[in-house]
């Protein structure tokens, strides 16, 4: 708790007994507890006020997130997650396109073996150029 070892806590208690005496120690410990509760309430109220002023997108904001480094890191992680989702969707679309292209090429190969030669098909359609009419305006 608060980075204090058991030995440090014992030393603080011994110093408190020596400085304040056994008569006043309970009174000062109650006052210290009230101060800690008051400070905790102030911190919670400040956190709630900041949360309501920033809006719903920052509803899960922690006080440690107000550190610029952690705030930026958290926002970047959110953006990276969105980019990863987009990459996943693009890979799925790529796989679908590749399978569709493979199906199309196999279908074309199957049909090309059956199809007529290209020259005969053009001859059936007609001349390559439209006829020239010298009397046209």
| Residue 137 belongs to a domain | no
Q: What is the per-residue pLDDT for 123?
A: 59
- Split the chain (137 residues) into runs of 10 and give each run's mean pLDDT: 80 86 86 94 87 76 74 87 95 94 85 60 59 76
Helix (H, G, I), strand (E, B) or coil at 51: helix
Q: What is the per-residue pLDDT for 127?
A: 56
| CB distance 128 to 122 below 8 Å | yes
Residue ranges making up the domain that contains 5: 1-62
pLDDT digits (tens, 9 = 90+) for 20-43: 888 888 898 899 899 999 999 998
My answer on whether 54 and 38 are in the same domain is yes
User: Tell me, what DSSP letter sits at residue 55?
Assistant: -
| Residue 57 belongs to a domain | yes
CA distances from 97 to 59, 79, 90, 103, 104 (A): 41, 27, 10, 10, 10
My answer on whether 91 and 58 are in the same domain is no
Q: What is the per-residue pLDDT for 117?
A: 55
Name the residue among 38, 39, 47 with its Cα closest to residue 66.
47
My answer on whether 56 and 75 are in the same domain is no
Final residue in a domain of this structure, among 10, 40, 62: 62
Number of domains the chain contains? 2
CB within 8 Å of 17: residues ≥ 6 apart? 25
My answer on whether 56 and 102 are in the same domain is no
| CB distance 65 to 71 below 8 Å | yes
């Amino acid at each position: 708790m608060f980075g204090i070892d058991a030995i440090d806590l014992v030393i603080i208690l011994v110093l408190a007994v020596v400085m304040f005496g056994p008569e006043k120690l309970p009174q000062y410990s109650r006052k210290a507890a009230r101060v800690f509760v008051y400070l905790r309430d102030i911190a919670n109220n400040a956190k709630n006020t900041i949360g309501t002023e920033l809006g719903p997108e920052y509803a899960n904001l922690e006080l440690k997130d107000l550190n610029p480094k952690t705030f930026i890191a958290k926002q970047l992680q959110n953006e990276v997650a969105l980019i990863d989702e987009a990459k996943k969707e693009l890979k799925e679309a790529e796989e679908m396109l590749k399978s569709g292209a493979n199906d199309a090429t196999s279908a074309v190969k199957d049909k090309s073996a059956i199809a007529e030669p290209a020259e005969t098909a053009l001859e059936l359609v007609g001349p390559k150029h439209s006829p020239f009419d010298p009397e046209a305006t």
